A and B are shown apart, each in its own frame.
Chain A
Amino acid sequence: MDMSKYVLPFEECDITMVNRVGGKCASLGELMKAQIPVPPGFAITTDAYEQFLEENNLSKRVIDRLDGVKEEMVDEVHTASEEIRGWIEAGTISEPMEDMIAEQYRLLSRRTLTPAVPVAVRSSATAEDLPDASFAGQQDTFLWIRGVDDVLDRTRKCWSSLFTARAISYRIKMGFDHAEVLISVAVQKMVRSFTAGVMFTLNPATGDPATVVIDSNWGFGESVVSGEVTPDQFQVNKITMDVTKKVVSDKGIYYTTDPETDEVKKLEVDEERRKSQSLLDKEIIALAELGKVIEKHYGKAMDIEWATEKSLPYKGEIYIVQSRPETVWSQKEVKPVAEPKASAIEHIVAGLVKGKRVR
């Protein structure tokens, strides 16, 4: 059996393969191509998901179950969701497929010199990362998973997350065909985040394309992505690389792993770190530089998740965990800022006639 049909290291994923590995894995592969530091991992492809459904006789069963279910039938949607998810999570991954996944996982462990390497198991939907569809957050993410068995278990959970009540109603409402939405799963080495957060290569508040905006908090990036915490915000001028704005917030909570139990926990930030700047100035600039490279590679404004890891007390690395095209400003019609004119004076006249508001 050709392993690469079902599992692919990120290095072998690229933007042309979204329908097989989903947006997340495709973009991680692209980032690696652009020499961006990305935690390594592998994709469990949509073919694997389809194969799994087939082997468990679920392909037709799921579609039939959803036949006739309408968006407003709230209870029905919930019941259907519970049932379908139950089927998927109880399904059996065939031995050959188990072996393939296990092999990739072991390779990852060896490569990162970490036995039973902690990974994030995340859905990488084929529609999620398209700029048109803000599916983001509709499927699940599992952090700090160790050992093949747990990886397989979470993989099934990711697969089943395609059928959460919200996902089902969303597809019905938007007119997406349930059969067409396939899912891939990204299994990625977890960064032991010292700090993490998001970065936009434009200012999401104003649309300014010359500003990089970075939101950051202690611990895993989830606290920032989920909006649970008011993060620190830093703004960088993309051209001069000056840090033009720093807002240090009172950061109350953070996510980290308990070193003993390997559980991801939400903890309170201790007093002196609450109001201290979570990123060093030089890290802010290094991160913004990465943002620039990523934006250049994709040719558009990007929405990026990042994390820093302190491998040694005095040394840290920045990793890009995820990146996707920015969805809000890039949607707007690209119009010239000023109506073109034949000469400078015509611009001047137009401006003079308009005047400047002072009140």
Chain B
Amino acid sequence: MADLKFPSPHEAEKLPGTEGWERMYPYHYQFSTDDPERKKYEENMFWFYDGLHYPEPMYPFDMIWDEAWFLALSQYNSRIFIVPPAMGIDHRIHNGYIYITPIPVLDEASIPQRVELFMKRAGYYYENWNDLEQKWVKKMEGVIKELDDLEIPKLPEMEDESVVFDGKGISSGYLLHNAYDKLIDLGIKCWQYHFEFLNLGYASYVFFVDFCSKAFPDIPLQKITQMVAGIDVIMYRPDDELKKLAKLAIELGVDDVAMNGDAAAVLKAMEGSDNGKKWLEAFEAAREPWFHVSTGTGWYHHDRSWNDDLNVPISFMKIYIEKLKQGKNIDKPTAAVIAERDKLSAGYRDLLKTDEDRATFDQMLGSARTVFPYVENHLFYVEHWFHSLFWNKMREVAAILKEFKFIDDIEDVWYLRRAEIKDALWDVVTSWATGSNGRGPLVWPKEIAWRKQCMEKFREWTPPDAMGTVPETISEPFTIVLWGITSESMANWAKLKAVADGDLTKISGFPGSPGEVEGIVRVCRTVADIGRLQDGDILVAPTTSPSWAPAFQKINACVTDVGGVMCHAAIVCREYGLPAVVGTGSATSRLKTGQKIKVNGATGEIDIIS
């Protein structure tokens, strides 16, 4: 790709007024030029902006997840399963945006031995997948329970006398440190588990795709995914529970109550009747754990869960009640999806020419179907359930910092790195213990104010899609599947950037879900915006997540900036039979609300009509 130019990471734009921003993030995330070898390494690698996970600049505390998966994803490739051609994924940060690069195995001679090791280790997981997956669920539920049970102690004016009479020998100050350490530890551990199967899952999927593409050069990726995709995916449970509650409300004759007022009002009013109480029971049962679903992706602290704000699920439920009363069917067309899936699998299999290929197809499809539930389900356990609880526990820590005037607002805590919070807690705890004033109030509030304005500048800036040097091949499975990095996607990004807004008539991306539809654009940058969706709109979003599910009842099609054929928007649109074009690069900045477009989900083309 001679005309595919990506800037050097060392020449990346610096934003005036943000000098010193580097101290907001871990030192090893910086691009640097002082060491010639490191500098050369950075210039020669291909760093792409991880817009899939981070549409916004990073909050210093929220970096914990990036660091957690930096470690976890990489370790499974390089030290645990020994993926033959791939080591881990390296991370950098610039102007608050994360850039990542897959590291290949450089010593070709080592690959045969790695193959042997991989066959043995990954082989064990593939062969015992279902058993291990069940164990995994238990481990995850265990970690989540530990998190839920974790007590963040307050610092009392005077310790309760039980400390003395029970001979405890430790203070709340000590316990606070302990609890914070434990909280962070649980977070890191959870992410260790998150990746336990994931790269194996993606590897299986990637090679099924490869096989189908060789046998059927024209086959759209979407059709392949339709053959593999799970039907009863946990990610749909929260939404399914809402639908059940909507139906129950109608059945019990309390739908009028359900439609009236905000969540607090509805829940109070429900207590006024026997049927209402029955409904409340079902509601409470559904909340745990399903309402821990995040309204965002779970990656940012500001992604609240349905449990944090019951207005979100209640208002979504109202949409369902309305549709049901109009006589509309709100259920996912599961039977149709299954029928289509089976038709495709049988149809393509029949067209294969040799017995060997049919055997390969059966093996690879079987493997892909075995791994896919984990690939789709792990999200709920980690990014939703665990993260939702985690953010709230962290807020309890923040409350203590606020009490000691180290921060003005609980939501300011995110502007500190977790190591800085550790230091601040020492400051708090020692000032509590000594009765003197901590230094924190003199340091943190103004530092936080400065960091906030830095991040504002970061937010206004558009990070380049990539920096550095494009490699010939990529072997790291995540890079291919999750971020959809292929030669086509890179060419498309480059093309899109080159066209001036006025001349833009076409945007292309990956075909996420088939169908062709014309409609009005509604750009929604966060789930908070989806309330503005009108029936029949075309949703244009940076990316979507399961908590956006009710939006899919209103829209006629979906377009996203980021994501491959396995991203959430594509999966949900396929389930609902809505067209989707994903991974367009920058549709949310190139399209405006009110424009008319035509979306072709089978070809990945979007035509701008007005």
Task: Tell which of B207, B356, B487 touches A357, judged by Cβ atoms closer than 8 Å.
Answer: B487
Which label, helix, strand, loop or mixed, suits the secondary structure of the A interface? loop
- Tell me, rounded to whole Å, the shortest Cβ–Cβ distance linking A250 to chain B: 19
B371 CB to nearest A CB, Å:
10
Interface flags for B568-610 (1: CB within 8 Å of A; 0: not) read 0000000000000000000000000000000000110000000
Least CB distance, B228 to chain A, in whole angstroms: 13
Q: B264 interface residue, CB < 8 Å from A?
A: no
- State whether A351 and B207 are in contact (beta carbons under 8 Å apart), knowing that A238-B351, A358-B474 are contacts in the complex: yes
Q: Is the Cβ of B1 less than 8 Å from the Cβ of A359?
A: yes
Partner of B360, one of A238, A244, A245, A337: A337
Q: How far is the CA of A231 from the CA of B176 in the complex (A)?
A: 76
- Asked whether any CB of chain A lies closer than 8 Å to the CB of B69, the reply is no
- Taking the complex as formed, is B111 at the interface, i.e. its CB lies under 8 A from any CB of chain A? yes
Determine if B115 and A334 form an interchain contact, defined as CB atoms under 8 angstroms apart: no
Contact partners of B219 in chain A: CB under 8 A: 208, 210
Q: How far is the CA of A240 from the CA of B336 in the complex (A)?
A: 13
Name the residue on B nearest A244 (C-beta): B602
Q: Contact between B475 and A352 (Cβ–Cβ < 8 Å)?
A: yes
Whole-angstrom distance between the alpha carbons of A338 and B360 in the complex?
7
- Which of B81-89, B141-149, B452-460 participates in binding chain A? B81-89
A345 B122 Cβ-Cβ under 8 A = yes
Q: Tell me, in angstroms, the Cα distance from A211 to B217 when the chains sit together.
A: 9
User: How far, in angstroms, from A337 to B349 measured CA to CA in the complex?
Assistant: 13
Is B363 engaged at the interface, CB distance under 8 Å to the other chain? yes
Interface of B is mostly: helix
Query: Which of B183-191, B208-216, B275-283, B315-323 makes up part of the contact surface?
Result: B208-216
Using an 8 Å CB-CB cutoff, how does the interface string of B192-207 with A read, 1 for contact, 0 for none? 0000000000011011
How far does the alpha carbon of A354 sit from the alpha carbon of B360 in the complex, in Å?
A: 17
Residue numbers in A under 8 Å from B215 (CB-CB)? 337
A335 at the A/B interface (Cβ < 8 Å)?
A: yes
For window 331-359 of A, CB contacts with B under 8 Å fall at: 334-341, 343-359
Which residues of chain A come closer than 8 Å to B477, judged between CB atoms? 352
B270 interfacial contact with A, CB 8 Å:
no
Q: Residue A216 at the B interface, CB < 8 A? A: no
Q: Which B residues are CB-close (under 8 A) to A351?
A: 203, 206-207, 210
The answer to whether B203 touches A352 (Cβ under 8 A) is yes
Query: What residue in chain A is nearest B206 (Cβ atoms)?
Result: A351
Verify B474–A356 contact, CB threshold 8 A.
yes
A359 contacts B470, C-beta separation under 8 Å: yes
Chain B hits for A344, CB < 8 A = 126, 204, 363-364, 366-367
Q: Which residue of B lies closest to A352 (CB)?
A: B84
Find chain A residues with CB under 8 A from B514 CB. 242
Query: Is there an interface contact between B211 and A359, defined as CB atoms closer than 8 Å?
Result: no
Pick from B123, B218, B344: contact of A345, CB under 8 Å: B123
Q: Which residue of A lies closest to B112 (CB)?
A: A353
Please tell me if the beta carbons of B351 and A210 are within 8 angstroms of each other in the complex: yes
- Closest residue on chain B to residue A209 by CB atoms: B351
Bound: A322/B219 CA distance, A: 28
Across-interface contacts of B356 in A (CB, < 8 A): 336, 338-340
Query: Which chain A residue has the least Cβ–Cβ distance from B199?
Result: A352
Contacts of A113 in B (CB 8 A): none
Pick the most buried of A208, A235, A237: most chain B CB atoms within 10 A of its CB: A237
Cα–Cα distance between A242 and B474 once the two chains are bound (Å): 33
Residues B86 and A244 in contact, CB atoms below 8 Å apart: no
Contact at A206–B357, with CB atoms within 8 Å? no
| Least CB separation from B104: chain A residue | A355
Inter-chain contacts of B364 with A (CB < 8 A): 344, 347
Q: Which of A203, A240, A337, A345 contacts B126 (CB 8 A)?
A: A345
A280 in the interface, Cβ–Cβ < 8 Å? Answer: no
Asked whether A210 lies within 8 Å of B85 as measured between CB atoms, the reply is no
B16 at the interface (CB under 8 A from A): no
How far is it, in angstroms, between the C-alpha of A340 and the C-alpha of B359 when the chains are bound? 8
Which residue of chain A lies nearest to B487 when distances are taken between CB atoms in the complex? A358
Q: Name A's B-contacting residues (CB within 8 A).
A: 203, 206-211, 235, 237-240, 242, 244-245, 334-341, 343-359
Q: Which residues of B contact A (CB under 8 A)?
A: 1, 83-86, 104, 111, 115, 118-119, 122-123, 126, 203-204, 206-207, 210-211, 214-220, 223, 340, 343-344, 347-348, 351-354, 356-357, 359-360, 363-364, 366-367, 470-475, 477, 480, 485-487, 490, 514, 602-603
A-B contact pairs, 5 of them (CB 8 A): A337-B211, A341-B360, A343-B123, A349-B118, A356-B473
Known: A209-B216, A338-B357, A347-B363. 5 other contacts (CB 8 A): A344-B126, A345-B367, A347-B360, A351-B207, A353-B84
